[in-house]
């Protein structure tokens, strides 16, 4: 059964293995939500499946804990989901995972990888249901929820499976070691190398990209033979609950105890994450979320291998540009997309206070800043497009941060105007607020202001812009950085500074590619080289320490 999962999906795995070596454009799961790809009834079926989840218990057969005991998700679009998940205490989750692990750890590499590939395949078929689950927990617009929550997340999960498979098969299972040790003596040993998984892995999900950020750790740990406890953010449980349900079905069919993967749901007023992190049985932790809790995990989870993706302060450096409008149009989408709630969204835009050179001549600081504001205004001028691109604000605290941003006392270049959402009148919506700063205001823009809040900052020159972007990345972390320059020397200087600060650089993006996008199999998301996180999605360091190799050797008797 499970060996056949491996053969069924071997071409997909081979494609992924090739892609991570070449890092060219490749994807296993179609990002177009088309009936031709997913079946003509897929969208309706997904809608029905999502609706049938609402206002009732989410049951997982054989799962530890009391069915339907916990969950308080409210859609950022305005209504409570009313879904109640199994409520399990930490002790019984750990005990169930450990029991299930005993069988899973003995499975061979192909069996485990086959199970992972089948889970991803079935998740792909459920992408329409997942889109709505992601949309109504994170606040993403529908199209983004489909792509980032569905196929793109599945691609990132597959990428982790490919790295895990590559790593586990790097060492042969057996080797014959033969050494001449004297004139008449040769020692010959048969050596067997066994993959030994670490034990229980914990994946702590975030509220904005529960699947995209969660799948790499979940699938890397599963493929390498660990049992996984999935701890979703209390505001975004449903996408990971569906994931766990699908995974348990496949595990059961393959003859394993489904508690190889379990759901640790909780509510904001009774959090269980710290208890889980501190359990000595937890040997691997994947975390995506705020910096404060991430740092607490890094400092306190000394018994576990820890992978974090925290937050950062992302910059755009504007030095010179061929086509001002092409740049401002690109930036407007970057600032508006999902209301700036991506960990890759830019916050600080540095422009020399003397202005910049463009294809249409010199433009003053105010002209460039004004063009950016105008591009955002234009972009949000169409209510349908605005509603789809902005989505909704996931967290009340983010909305409050936007509302209070003016209290910093900086000049306002663009107010966060109300934007109506026709489809969801009760949606929590904020458009970007854009503030003006000088480099001396560093204390005000150097901290992370999560959400649709941007600063356009006047600097002495591009050298200062680069220095500020790099220093802030080094001190506070950064996940993206962009530069616009027509001078290759300036770009080289920025590349050196960005590399030293551990932040990936995007240069001169215009058209349909944005700094806040990261493509599986090609872009390394988070470098692990600054405080924004200690790991990347995905490389071999992300998988190689989730298992160990333990050998046995015995003389070969001829």
Interface contacts to a second copy, rule CB under 8 A: 21-25, 167, 170-172, 175-179, 181-182, 185, 187, 189, 191-194, 196, 198, 298-299, 302, 491, 495, 498-500, 502-513, 519, 522-524, 527-529, 536, 539-541, 544-545, 548-555
Nearest approach, Cβ of residue 546 and a second copy (Å)? 9
Residue closer to a second copy (CB basis): 373 or 505 = 505
Nearest approach, Cβ of residue 62 and a second copy (Å)? 25
8 Å CB contact between 198 and 226: yes
Q: Name residues whose C-beta falls within 8 Å of residue 417's C-beta, 6 or more positions apart in sequence.
A: 380, 431
Nearest approach, Cβ of residue 7 and a second copy (Å)? 25
Instruction: Give which of 448, 491, 507, 509 is closest to 473, Cα–Cα.
Output: 448
Residue closer to a second copy (CB basis): 394 or 530 = 530
8 Å CB contact between 460 and 352: yes
Residue closer to a second copy (CB basis): 191 or 252 = 191
Instruction: Give which of 337, 391, 378, 359 is closest to 512, Cα–Cα.
Output: 337
Residue closer to a second copy (CB basis): 185 or 422 = 185
Residue closer to a second copy (CB basis): 417 or 552 = 552
- Helix ranges, 126-150 (H): 127-138, 142-149
User: What is the rounded distance in angstroms from the CA atom of residue 244 to the CA atom of residue 228?
Assistant: 10
Residue closer to a second copy (CB basis): 179 or 418 = 179
Nearest approach, Cβ of residue 380 and a second copy (Å)? 22
Residue closer to a second copy (CB basis): 48 or 173 = 173
277, two tokens:
């992190």
- Enter the DSSP assignment of 381: T
Nearest approach, Cβ of residue 44 and a second copy (Å)? 26
8 Å CB contact between 473 and 497: no
Residue closer to a second copy (CB basis): 100 or 230 = 100
Residue closer to a second copy (CB basis): 272 or 535 = 535
Nearest approach, Cβ of residue 176 and a second copy (Å)? 7
User: What is the rounded distance in angstroms from the CA atom of residue 370 to the CA atom of residue 376?
Assistant: 10
- Helix ranges, 312-435 (H): 324-336, 365-380, 383-390, 396-404
Separation of first and last alpha carbons in the chain: 37
8 Å CB contact between 260 and 280: no
User: What is the rounded distance in angstroms from the CA atom of residue 318 to the CA atom of residue 353?
Assistant: 11
Nearest approach, Cβ of residue 126 and a second copy (Å)? 25
Residue closer to a second copy (CB basis): 74 or 305 = 305
Nearest approach, Cβ of residue 309 and a second copy (Å)? 13
DSSP string, 172-209: -SEEEEEEE-SSS-EEEEEEEEEEEE-SEEEEE--SS-
Greatest Cα pair distance in the chain? 88
Nearest approach, Cβ of residue 376 and a second copy (Å)? 21
8 Å CB contact between 362 and 355: yes
Residue closer to a second copy (CB basis): 55 or 540 = 540
Residue closer to a second copy (CB basis): 34 or 178 = 178
Nearest approach, Cβ of residue 41 and a second copy (Å)? 26
User: What is the rounded distance in angstroms from the CA atom of residue 454 to the CA atom of residue 434?
Assistant: 5
8 Å CB contact between 379 and 389: yes
Nearest approach, Cβ of residue 281 and a second copy (Å)? 13
DSSP string, 415-454: -------SS-TT----PPEEEEEEGGGHHHHSS---SSEE
Nearest approach, Cβ of residue 403 and a second copy (Å)? 35
Torsion of CA 436, 438, 439, 444, to 10 degrees: -60
């Amino acid at each position: 059964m499970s060996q056949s999962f491996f053969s069924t999906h071997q071409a997909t795995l081979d494609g992924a293995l090739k892609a991570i070596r070449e890092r060219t454009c490749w994807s296993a799961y179609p990002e177009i939500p088309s009936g031709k790809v997913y079946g003509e009834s897929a969208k309706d079926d997904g809608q029905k499946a999502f609706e049938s989840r609402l206002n009732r218990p989410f049951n997982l057969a054989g799962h530890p804990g009391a069915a339907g005991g916990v969950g308080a998700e409210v859609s950022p679009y305005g209504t409570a989901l009313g879904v109640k998940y199994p409520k399990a205490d930490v002790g019984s989750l750990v005990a169930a995972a450990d029991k299930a692990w005993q069988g899973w750890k003995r499975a061979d590499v192909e069996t485990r990888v086959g199970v992972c590939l089948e889970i991803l395949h079935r998740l792909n078929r459920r992408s329409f249901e997942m889109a709505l689950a992601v949309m109504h927990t994170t606040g993403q617009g529908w199209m983004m929820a489909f792509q980032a929550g569905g196929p793109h997340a599945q691609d990132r999960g597959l990428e982790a499976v490919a790295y895990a498979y590559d790593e586990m098969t790097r060492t042969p299972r057996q080797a014959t070691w033969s050494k001449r040790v004297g004139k008449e003596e040769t020692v010959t040993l048969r050596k067997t190398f066994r993959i030994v998984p670490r034990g229980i892995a914990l994946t702590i999900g975030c509220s904005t990209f529960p699947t995209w950020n969660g799948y790499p750790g979940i699938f890397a740990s599963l493929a390498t033979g660990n049992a996984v406890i999935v701890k979703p953010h209390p505001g975004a449980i449903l996408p990971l609950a569906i994931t766990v349900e699908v995974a348990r079905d496949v595990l059961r069919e393959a003859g394993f105890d489904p508690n190889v993967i379990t759901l640790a749901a909780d509510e904001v007023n009774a959090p269980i994450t710290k208890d889980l992190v501190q359990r000595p049985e937890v040997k691997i932790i994947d975390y995506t979320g705020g910096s404060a809790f991430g740092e607490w995990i890094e400092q306190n989870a000394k018994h576990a291998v820890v992978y974090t993706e925290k937050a950062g302060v992302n910059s755009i450096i504007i030095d010179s540009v061929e086509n001002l409008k092409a740049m401002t149009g690109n930036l407007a989408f970057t600032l508006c997309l999902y209301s700036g709630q991506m960990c890759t969204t830019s916050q600080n835009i540095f422009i020399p206070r003397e202005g910049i050179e463009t294809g249409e001549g010199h433009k003053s600081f105010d002209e460039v800043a004004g063009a950016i504001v105008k591009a955002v205004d234009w972009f949000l001028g169409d209510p349908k497009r605005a509603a789809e691109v902005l989505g909704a604000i996931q967290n009340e605290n983010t909305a409050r941060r936007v509302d209070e941003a003016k209290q910093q006392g900086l000049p306002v270049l663009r107010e966060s105007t109300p934007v109506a959402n026709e489809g969801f009148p009760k949606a929590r919506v904020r458009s970007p607020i854009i503030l003006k700063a000088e480099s001396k205001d560093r204390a005000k823009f150097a901290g992370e202001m999560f959400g649709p809040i941007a600063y356009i900052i006047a600097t002495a020159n591009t050298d200062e812009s680069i220095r500020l972007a790099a220093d802030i990345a080094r001190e506070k972390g950064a996940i993206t950085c962009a530069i616009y320059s027509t001078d290759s020397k300036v770009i080289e200087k920025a590349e050196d500074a960005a590399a030293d600060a551990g932040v990936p650089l995007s240069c001169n993006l215009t058209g349909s590619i944005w700094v806040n996008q990261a493509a599986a199999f090609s872009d390394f998301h988070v470098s692990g080289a600054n405080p924004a996180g200690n790991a990347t999605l995905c490389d071999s360091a992300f998988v190689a320490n989730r298992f160990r190799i333990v050998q046995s050797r015995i003389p070969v008797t001829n």
